[in-house]
Every structure is written in structure tokens, then in C-alpha cells.
């Protein structure tokens, strides 16, 4: 089946469909040794090139993996020195599968990470308009109050950007430490840590426990992953659609 070139590129993980369309308009995509115009469709057997490399699309069947990420692991495909990366923990017996991470977690954050073989689906999950919320378990040190809680829910401007939680549930206290369950709709870099720091609290443990309708299974060991079934994948699509797409 022939499909539009921008969709083919997006599914291969190059970027969003709009970004891929801009690449085509900029005459940066080559199909069968010719510059591809807008409106180009590609079929199996066509050779698509971007930036001098052949772009292969293996995303005929949508797959999604859930990893219980350990602390001390980089959410990157590029290795720095001898630091482990999340892709070290994914299945290695499927040579044709190119996994794309759906968002990131910083090196000291553990818990739920999703990966897919479909760049279009990855972009859908990460796009702000999807409004797919994330839930985290947080241990923070410092004094918490209703005033601080209200600030975190209303929003705080940090480095010129607006940050906020959509929900905060207070948990057990242990000395100067307290547990929290927090939710937010965006995936800005170190957002949870920055929010707590803005109210003079220091995060000492951070774990993602939910992405939209998908929860981290309590039985999934750290450093292991599982493949989501069709019902789970459909629930993510429906969740995003209901939230605003």
C-alpha cells in the first residue's frame, strides 16, 4: 500500500508529520534518487533518503514496550563513557525493530518508560495537545504547607516557562522527608524536581508510576520490560483523543 511521504517519515521516527512535511518542502528528502515534492506517496520497494541515509520504515505492526527503568541509567540512544542507557534493557532478538523512546526520564529518576517502533505514535503520545498526564511517586525533604501546595497547582514560572502540577496527594511523613503522588500533563526537563525546588524542597527519590491509562505493574522487576497488548495500545490512543486530540 502506498502512503504519504510525511507519514512514512514520521512512522520511521524522523519527527512529527508537520516537521517531515517541512523537510519535504525544503527539498531535503530524496525518493528513488529524485527530490521528492509535496504530495509524494511511497510504496514498498521505494528508496527514501534523508541526510544521506536510507530511511527504512519497519512499523507495519505497532508495538509498544514498557520498561521499569533503573536509577543511574541514561534515557538516550547515545552512550556516554560507560554509563548504561535504557536501550541496553530492551529486547535484542528483534534485529529489524528500531525502538523509539516516548519521552525521557532523567538519570536519577526510575520507573515507567514507554518505547515504540512507530514514530507517528511516539509523536502523538508526546505532543502537548494530547494532554496525556504522567504520575510520579516523590520523596522530598523540607517543610510542606497548603500555601506551597496551592502555588504548585496554580503554576510557577521558572526560567521563563510555566510549570505546574495538575494534582498533588500528600503521603506518609518520615522526619524531614515526606512522600507525595503528583500528576502533570507535560514532560519538560526535570519538571517535577524544579517545581519542588521552587518551594524550597529537595527531591531525594523520584519514580514515574503512570503514563495516561498505563500503570507500572508492581510485579515488573527493575530493569525488565514487557510488551503492551492491543487493548493497552488502544487505551492510550483513546485517552489522548479524549484529552484533546
**Cβ neighbours, 10 Å, residue 224:** 12
pLDDT over 60 at 96, yes or no: no
pLDDT at 93: 63
Q: Which of 106, 120, 159, 230 is catalytic?
A: 106
Residue 226 resides in a domain: yes
Across all residues in the chain, what is the average pLDDT? 89
* Residue 59 belongs to some domain of the structure: no
pLDDT the model gives residue 244: 43
Residue 56 · residue 9 · CB < 8 Å: no
On whether both 169 and 199 belong to a single domain, the answer is yes
Q: Please, which pLDDT band fits residue 92 given cuts at 50, 70 and 90?
A: confident
Q: Which domain holds residue 26?
A: 3-54
pLDDT of residue 75: 93
199 and 219: one domain? no
> Can 22 be counted among the known catalytic residues?
no
CATH code at 151?
A: 3.30.2350.10
Structural domain tally of the chain?
3
Quote the pTM value: 0.78
101 within domain boundaries: yes
Residue 192 above 80 pLDDT? yes
Digit-coded pLDDT (tens) for 203-223: 999 999 999 999 999 999 999
Kindly state whether residues 108 and 221 are assigned to the same domain: yes
Q: Say which CATH number the domain at 47 has.
A: 3.10.290.10
Per the CB < 8 A criterion, the answer to whether 53 and 215 are in contact is no
Q: Are residues 36 and 77 in the same domain?
A: no
Alpha helices by DSSP H, 105-179: 119-126, 146-154
Same domain, 75 and 196: no
- Examine the domain organization and report whether 42 and 10 are in the same domain: yes
Q: Where is pLDDT greater, at 142 or 1?
A: 142
Q: What is the pLDDT of residues 11-26, one digit of tens each?
A: 787 878 888 999 999 9
Amino acid at each position: 500500500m502506498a502512503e504519504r511521504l510525511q507519514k512514512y517519515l514520521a512512522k520511521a521516527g524522523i519527527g512529527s508529520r508537520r516537521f517531515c512535511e517541512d523537510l519535504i518542502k525544503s527539498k531535503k528528502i530524496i525518493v528513488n534518487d529524485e527530490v521528492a515534492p509535496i504530495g509524494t506517496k511511497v510504496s514498498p520497494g521505494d528508496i527514501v533518503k534523508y541526510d544521506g541515509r536510507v530511511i527504512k520504515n519497519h512499523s507495519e505492526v505497532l508495538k509498544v514496550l514498557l520498561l521499569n527503568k533503573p536509577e543511574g541509567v541514561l534515557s538516550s540512544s547515545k552512550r556516554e563513557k560507560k554509563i548504561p542507557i535504557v536501550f541496553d534493557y530492551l529486547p535484542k532478538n528483534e534485529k529489524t525493530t528500531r525502538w523509539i523512546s516516548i519521552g525521557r526520564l532523567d538519570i536519577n529518576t526510575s520507573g515507567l518508560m514507554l518505547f515504540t517502533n512507530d514514530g507517528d505514535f511516539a509523536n502523538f503520545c508526546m505532543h502537548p495537545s494530547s494532554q496525556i498526564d504522567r504520575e510520579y511517586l516523590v520523596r522530598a525533604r523540607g517543610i510542606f504547607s497548603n500555601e506551597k501546595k496551592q502555588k504548585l497547582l496554580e503554576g510557577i514560572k521558572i526560567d521563563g516557562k510555566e510549570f505546574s502540577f495538575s494534582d498533588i496527594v500528600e503521603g506518609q511523613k518520615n522526619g524531614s522527608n515526606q512522600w507525595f503522588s503528583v500528576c502533570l500533563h507535560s514532560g519538560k526537563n526535570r519538571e517535577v524536581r524544579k517545581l519542588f525546588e521552587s518551594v524550597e524542597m529537595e527531591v531525594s527519590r523520584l519514580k514515574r508510576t503512570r503514563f495516561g491509562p498505563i500503570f507500572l505493574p508492581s510485579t515488573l522487576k527493575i530493569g525488565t520490560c514487557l510488551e503492551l497488548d492491543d487493548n493497552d495500545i488502544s487505551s492510550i490512543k483513546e485517552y489522548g483523543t479524549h484529552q484533546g486530540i
